[in-house]
Amino acid sequence: MSERLQPGDVAPAFTLPDADGNEVSLAAHQGRKVIVYFYPAALTPGCTKQACDFTDNLEVLAGAGYDVIGISPDKPEKLAKFREKENLKVTLLADPDKQVLDAYGAFGEKKNYGKTYMGVIRSTIIVDETGKVEHALYNVRATGHVAKIIKDLGI
């Protein structure tokens, strides 16, 4: 498990396949603010709620200069199903090797019902136009999280 990112850190560079298998990199968003959120699994209730919330607020976020990227350990094919089923507009990226999840501190030890296991830590990292971490939010809730981000960013 890697260290959690802190505001002011340089956001780790990444290039991952999207739902259609096209490579998407953080560097391609240079000059724009980017909300990178990490979620455990496509097509699950909490992750669906979160992805739909981001999609529903995409115009507001984009209007304020933010791009939104969701990253999970799912394969591109599952992300494509997720996008189609839920009519998602956010960019979904596949990280089956969990290298980016790990680099962002979004993969590690979790506890559930008294059991400890390794898994995706629901996290949101907001990267500024220069590629530095502006906000690093870990163990966020799926429900109400997007509204909280919008409020906290003053959008």
List the one residue out of 91, 125, 85 whose CA is nearest residue 22. 91
- Residues with a catalytic annotation lie at 47
**Angle at the Cα of 146 (from 39 to 106), degrees rounded to 5?**
30
List the one residue out of 25, 27, 4, 29 whose CA is nearest residue 15. 25
Number of other CB atoms surrounding residue 112 within 10 Å: 8
For 22, the 3-state DSSP assignment is: coil
Q: Are 65 and 101 in contact (CB under 8 A)?
A: no
DSSP annotation of 104 reads T
Residue 92 to residues 9, 20, 70, 86, 116, Cα–Cα distance (Å) = 23, 9, 5, 12, 28
